[in-house]
Structure 1
């Protein structure tokens, strides 16, 4: 990253520091602090999208913003994922030199955030509902990811490498070299299991990365067991077919 900042005319760097979509990864505090330092050193604004940060189980895990609150970090947080998707309300913390322009362009964009949406958020805060809801969500997604880990280690072949965070919406799987993510996604779709091939999530230079993404946000515990079991079985079937073709 420092090499990119140093040798290119970079003005803005967009990043999800916690529970990255599509991979599910989170950075360590040490890495986040270094990114904050680089933004000052090379005069680059950091746009930090912390849309799932409220699910973080580690109370000592901080966003990049906390390491340089008076610097060039633009911190963005959404309420849509932690409450309900129809509530299109977010909050942003800006460097002082951007506030005037931001207000102007926001005014041009939507004139004003709908009062009803703001009242819903205010009510959630004032009555303690949001804190209770987040406590429930944290436990639920932790248990779902725990079930994902159990199923992956039980059903997936050794040729697959899972990256499973402790919580969040997404986890990703590295596939065997001889099976493409798009191929697997097409076969699983016929079995009514939806996974996302990640080749369309990367710029062309990195599209050879052979990954799939799965979301646990709308599935039950039995769905997780069923889906991962079928996924592992499908991968083994595809590998067996390819090995047979290769032998002939």
Structure 2
């Protein structure tokens, strides 16, 4: 385990045990370095992590102090390892900053709050997000940008509206975003699916579907796939664009975790598409909080009129209050500062989880290397029964979830034996212990199955 994680873990345990109480000042960095036999830089790294997770706070020229928190919040932290929740970690979000932006929005957009707005979205927010998207090489025409009440509303509209290619069916990956699958089932929409694994897509099968079936769009998550955590290569993105152009199929690119990508050369499909066949979706639910209910759609020009008509019928406008607060939050610089902190925190989590998995003796016997992402998975031997594994680990305080809701119709016999891992909620200091418990149980079940057979 990394030294700074060991220090952070020990300090958290002391806070949980009451050895360090709210408002108590922590020992000086030099004293902690002597105590843990490490450099001052390592101690500072541990303290910065705890500050980011709101266990402690810094006072200028005074040192670090324990945050005032209810003991109930800590009681389960040493017993529950939550690898099942995809909700953003509320401890990482500076809610007071956003509350300030809400208050500013009331003053700044008083007139707009008492009027029915535009179905396209708050003009000031569209301009702001246009500039923000350009930082990731997504150059959008403001006339083709729409603010929606979350990405779910955008998916709802796109699934039901007619497309200029006059095709009717939807193609999705399996596994895929669970709420989209639920939407397709509820509305009984014509749908086809194509399996996606860490090895990629079967492009021969993709081309057959594009050619032989009436596919109006292909929904895909090129970057940090939900729920596998894998990403397309540059060559795969270009192949998608080529096939979309060749067979007149639109690509629906859900780039919901674009803000978390540390590789600034990893461009979106939209950025590479010169044929206007890609619809780009951006979400703020993971970087801020789901309750904000703000999504962004960038459309090809041929779709904007129909989308506008359907959006206007779905709701007159998305919340002007939320849009105004988000515009202020971004333009104040607070968004960029928060993004940097959260992105680094999640990257540390993914790195710590991967490192913990690879350090386990079992990793030398089976290939369980997970993708480096906040949503990831372990590909397990077929002898492991996922239901039994999840149940056993729950009894040990390790929470996991099955992938059943991420499948539409792919037969069980063709599905990979995957265990989904969510790193959004779990504290960094608990990842190593939780991953070790996880790998120990997998090893135990493999040994048990081997003996039985």
TM superposition score normalised by structure 2: 0.52
Match of 2:442 among 230, 235, 241: 235
- 1:97 — aligned with what? 302
> 2:259·2:339 contact (CA, 8 Å) conserved in 1?
yes
Shift of residue 57, structure 1, vs aligned partner: 0.7
Shift of residue 151, structure 1, vs aligned partner: 0.3
Shift of residue 30, structure 1, vs aligned partner: 2.1
- 2:47 — aligned with what? none
- d(CA) in 2 for partners of 1:184, 1:236: 11
The C-alpha deviation readout for 1:81-123, integer Å capped at 9, x for no partner, is 1111211101110011211111111112122111110011101
Match of 1:128 among 326, 330, 333: 333
The C-alpha deviation readout for 1:59-94, integer Å capped at 9, x for no partner, is 111110011155111101011111112111011100
Q: Does 1:211 find its partner at 2:429?
A: no
- 1:108 — aligned with what? 313
Find the structure with the greater CA-based Rg.
Answer: 2
> 2:349·2:374 contact (CA, 8 Å) conserved in 1?
no
- 1:118 — aligned with what? 323
Distance 1:206 1:69, change over 3 A: farther
- d(CA) in 2 for partners of 1:181, 1:144: 23
> 1:73·1:95 contact (CA, 8 Å) conserved in 2?
yes
- 1:77 — aligned with what? 282
- d(CA) in 2 for partners of 1:69, 1:113: 30
- d(CA) in 2 for partners of 1:195, 1:228: 11
Could you tell me which runs of 5 or more consecutive residues in structure 1 were left unpaired when the two chains were aligned.
Answer: none
> 2:245·2:275 contact (CA, 8 Å) conserved in 1?
no
> 1:48·1:75 contact (CA, 8 Å) conserved in 2?
yes
Secondary structure of 2:290's match? coil
- d(CA) in 2 for partners of 1:92, 1:156: 46
- The number of aligned residues is 244
- 1:25 — aligned with what? 230
- d(CA) in 2 for partners of 1:180, 1:88: 37
> 1:198·1:210 contact (CA, 8 Å) conserved in 2?
no
> 1:156·1:229 contact (CA, 8 Å) conserved in 2?
no
Q: Greater shift after overlay, 201-210 or 127-136?
A: 201-210
- 2:130 — aligned with what? none
The C-alpha deviation readout for 1:133-172, integer Å capped at 9, x for no partner, is 111122111111110111001126122522222xx42111
Runs of 4+ aligned residues of structure 1 deviating over 4 Å after TM superposition are: none
> 2:254·2:282 contact (CA, 8 Å) conserved in 1?
yes
Secondary structure of 2:222's match? coil
Match of 1:224 among 413, 431, 439: 431
- 1:6 — aligned with what? 211
Distance 1:122 1:69, change over 3 A: farther
Q: Greater shift after overlay, 98-107 or 63-72?
A: 63-72
> 1:199·1:211 contact (CA, 8 Å) conserved in 2?
no
Secondary structure of 1:100's match? helix
- d(CA) in 2 for partners of 1:156, 1:91: 45
- 1:194 — aligned with what? 399
Secondary structure of 1:11's match? strand
CA RMSD of aligned residues (A): 1.6
> 2:378·2:418 contact (CA, 8 Å) conserved in 1?
yes
TM superposition score normalised by structure 1: 0.92
Residues 60-75 of structure 1: matches in 2 within 5 Å? 60-68=265-273, 70-75=275-280
- 1:16 — aligned with what? 221
Secondary structure of 1:60's match? coil
